[in-house]
């Protein structure tokens, strides 16, 4: 027989809210920076410079075929051997950016390849540079195509960020672990954390759906 007691958890609920807010900040920062990395790498994969494509391919394969926890440990515990020391939150952000960048590169690349070559040839005939063609002709239609996949990757990134508690980064999972060690109410703590992650995921899904309707489906007002 187990007697449920949520009061110790609810008394410290503000700690969980702070952890949830830090999770949102960390995830949003990682997504924004990782999206820039993804666009740059996707553009690099379309370049005519073989060594650049090889480096990007190696980066993607390494990240996609190694555990995220190992990547975090390598950045936080391994890089200090080379003199690169970071705080837990900094290491968590770098790990999330590197991870999102690899997956995002492949997503955006798929969107770029969906663009018809005739459109790019039309841009060339108008005298646009390769960078201008990529920016004005390729990027936005590609983002329209892969937007659902990118938003799903962000939700996955936010949920995966719970792993950064392994290096004592300040996030919701770490706050829950600390609270559980103080109250010993394991079930109550983790059921509330589960509900909070569910609320955050559902909320961001609704926000992304609204952005998609506004940015890609509604015509711009003249």
Whether the pLDDT of residue 145 is over 50: the answer is yes
Residue 34 contacts residue 214 (beta carbons within 8 Å): no
Question: What's the pLDDT at 102?
Answer: 93
> Looking at 21-30, 62-71, 86-95, 144-153, which range is the least confident one?
144-153
Q: How confident is the model at residue 186 (pLDDT cuts 50, 70, 90)?
A: confident
Q: What does pTM read for this prediction?
A: 0.85
Whether the pLDDT of residue 220 is over 60: the answer is no
Calculate the average pLDDT of the chain.
Answer: 87
Give me the residue spans of the domains in the chain.
8-217
Q: What tens digit of pLDDT does each residue of 35-60 get?
A: 999 989 988 887 778 888 899 999 99
Instruction: Specify the higher pLDDT residue, 2 or 201.
Output: 201
* Multiple choice CATH, 8-217, 1.10.760.10, 3.10.270.10, 1.10.3720.10, 1.10.238.10: 1.10.3720.10
List all residues 6 or more positions away from 108 whose beta carbon is below 8 Å from its beta carbon.
Answer: 38, 39, 42, 142, 143, 146, 150
One-letter-per-residue 3-state SS of 143-191: HHHHHHHHHHHHHHHHHHHHHHHHHCCCCHHHHHHHHHHHHCCHHHHHH
Q: What tens digit of pLDDT does each residue of 68-100 get?
A: 999 999 999 999 988 899 999 999 999 999 999
């Amino acid at each position: 027989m187990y007697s449920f007691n949520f009061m110790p958890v609810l008394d410290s609920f503000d700690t969980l809210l702070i952890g949830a807010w830090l999770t949102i900040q960390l995830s949003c920062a990682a997504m924004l920076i990782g999206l820039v990395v993804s666009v740059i790498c996707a553009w690099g994969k379309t370049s005519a410079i073989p060594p650049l494509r090889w480096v990007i391919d190696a980066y993607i394969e390494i990240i996609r075929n190694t555990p995220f926890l190992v990547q975090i440990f390598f950045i936080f515990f391994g890089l200090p051997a080379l003199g690169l020391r970071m705080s837990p939150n900094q290491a968590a952000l770098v790990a999330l950016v590197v991870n999102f960048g690899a997956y995002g590169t492949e997503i955006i690349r798929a969107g770029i390849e969906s663009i018809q070559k005739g459109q790019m040839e039309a841009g060339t005939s108008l005298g646009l540079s390769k960078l201008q063609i990529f920016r004005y002709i390729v990027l936005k239609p590609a983002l329209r195509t892969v937007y659902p996949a990118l938003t799903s990757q962000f939700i996955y990134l936010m949920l995966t960020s719970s792993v950064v508690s392994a290096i004592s980064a300040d996030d919701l999972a770490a706050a829950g672990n600390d609270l559980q060690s103080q109250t010993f109410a394991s079930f109550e703590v983790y059921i509330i954390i589960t509900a909070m992650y569910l609320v955050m995921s559902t909320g961001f899904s609704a926000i992304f759906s609204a952005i998609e309707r506004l940015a890609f489906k509604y015509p711009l007002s003249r």
